[in-house]
Amino acid sequence: MKKILQDLSFGELLALVESGGEKPFRAKQIFEGLMQGKRISSLPVPAPMRERLLSEYEDEPVAIREVFTSKDGTKKFLFALADGNLVEGVLMKYQYGNTQCVSTQVGCRMGCKFCASTLGGRVRDLSAGEILGQILAVNRSEGGTLKDRAVTNVVLMGSGEPFDNYDSVVRFLRNLTAEGGIRISARNVSLSTCGLVPQMKQFALEGIPLTLTVSLHAVTDGERRRTMPIANRYSIAEILAACDEYFEKTGRRYIFEYSLIEGENADMGHAESLARLLRGKPCHVNLIRLNEVKERNLKGTSEETAQKFLETLQQMGISATLRRSMGSDIGGACGQLRARYIEGGQR
């Protein structure tokens, strides 16, 4: 595979252009063109310069392979990377804007028992430009521009553990928010982690005030270990302390994801323990009914149980919402589409 031009910051691109003896304004042309989702081969620069770039860099590092549209308007995208690997993403349409969910790795090695992304382990990390490329491709195909964006919010909740690919994710976030690019503000970005405590602490020092989201899914370490192997490394207490550190450094409230699994974490006793655990913290709880993955024998709760769980949290003073499951008719749960696609031999 060649290198990926979309990995570079504007400053790095400028240095590249100048080292090739070209005028600095070319860097701006290239950066802008790439951020508009253009391929190198259609950049408005002199042909010899395009040829030089093409000899070293991938023309189209992230290509939309297929689009599935749900009845509720949610779109699921299957992206092909330059080496033939596939990743998926979703675009959800809300009143306040369009949120794109992006992948940070091909597969995942965290091994959570309820998640389809981790079934085949981790294949490889995505580079910063491959993460950004998913957004640039969707913004373009949905008719967005750099001024009038079709993608206004981003969540790092596709396949992969963002903090297991730390450097590329931070680089991606800097380019996502950079002047002259697509400029999605960190405030409109959520990063979801299964709770890699050292990276959470490191990230608090990066000066990127996004919404930190932690997949909790249990109220005790013992129960958490049953579904999330990472709980053998870090305790809930350590995670909560890292969240508080993030709040102190950034002033941003954090969010806990809690997927309701029948017979596992969804009793009213769990709701009460969760409320006690989080009482007084600057946080919000996002409940979601488990999206059943056919390779796993875990069951989601009924809508009624989910509602009762929500009310219990709220009555105990916890800010919480029950997330609507969007796009379930097109394989909404993590990694489901890619898994089905590979399984079907459609590659």
Instruction: For residue 88, state whether it binds ligand SAH (rule: CB under 6 A).
Output: no
- Which residue's CB is nearer to ligand SAH, number 130 or number 161? 161
- Which residue's CB is nearer to ligand SAH, number 2 or number 323? 323
- Which residue's CB is nearer to ligand SAH, number 153 or number 193? 193
Among 154, 287, 293, 310, binds ligand SAH (CB under 6 A): 293
Catalytic (active-site) positions: 88, 334
| Beta carbon of residue 278, minimum distance to ligand SAH (angstroms, whole number) | 16
Among 193, 211, 250, 265, binds ligand SAH (CB under 6 A): 193
Separation CA 209–CA 252 (nearest Å):
7
Residue by residue, DSSP assigns 2-28 as -B-GGGS-HHHHHHHHHHTT--THHHH
Among 288, 320, 326, 339, binds ligand SAH (CB under 6 A): 288
Separation CA 73–CA 36 (nearest Å):
24
Instruction: For residue 291, state whether it binds ligand SAH (rule: CB under 6 A).
Output: yes
Among 98, 168, 199, 215, binds ligand SAH (CB under 6 A): 215
Contact positions with ligand SAH (CB under 6 A) in 142-161: 157, 161
> Which tokens belong to 346?
């459609």
Provide the 10 A C-beta neighbour count for residue 346: 11
DSSP reduced 3-state for 180:
coil
How many residues touch ligand SAH under the rule CB under 6 A: the total is: 17
Contact positions with ligand SAH (CB under 6 A) in 100-129: 112, 114-115
Separation CA 141–CA 269 (nearest Å):
47
Among 333, 337, 338, 339, binds ligand SAH (CB under 6 A): 333
| Beta carbon of residue 293, minimum distance to ligand SAH (angstroms, whole number) | 5
- Which residue's CB is nearer to ligand SAH, number 109 or number 281? 109
Among 16, 176, 194, 320, binds ligand SAH (CB under 6 A): 194
Contact positions with ligand SAH (CB under 6 A) in 235-274: 257, 259
Of the candidate spans 142-150, 187-195, 263-271, 276-284, the one that interacts with ligand SAH by CB under 6 A turns out to be 187-195
CB 213 within 8 A of CB 219: no
Q: Which of 100, 27, 30, 115 is nearest to 64 (CA)?
A: 100
Helix or strand (DSSP H, E) at 78: strand 75-81
Separation CA 243–CA 212 (nearest Å):
8
Alpha helices in the chain (DSSP H): 10-19, 25-35, 47-56, 128-141, 166-177, 197-203, 221-227, 236-250, 268-278, 303-315, 336-343
DSSP reduced 3-state for 327:
coil
- Which residue's CB is nearer to ligand SAH, number 27 or number 334? 334
For 189, half-sphere exposure in the C-beta direction (CA atoms, 13 angstrom radius) is 22
Instruction: For residue 192, state whether it binds ligand SAH (rule: CB under 6 A).
Output: yes
CA torsion sign for 18, 19, 21, 26 is negative
Of the candidate spans 51-59, 122-130, 290-298, 307-315, the one that interacts with ligand SAH by CB under 6 A turns out to be 290-298
DSSP reduced 3-state for 48:
helix
| Beta carbon of residue 217, minimum distance to ligand SAH (angstroms, whole number) | 6
- Which residue's CB is nearer to ligand SAH, number 57 or number 256? 256
- Which residue's CB is nearer to ligand SAH, number 89 or number 181? 89
Of the candidate spans 21-29, 54-62, 182-190, 283-291, the one that interacts with ligand SAH by CB under 6 A turns out to be 283-291
- For the packed helices 25-35 and 10-19, what is the interaxial angle rounded to 10 degrees? 130
Residue by residue, DSSP assigns 154-176 as EEE-SSS-GGGGHHHHHHHHHHH
Applying CB under 6 A, the residues found at the interface with ligand SAH are: 112, 114-115, 157, 161, 192-194, 215, 257, 259, 288, 290-291, 293, 333-334
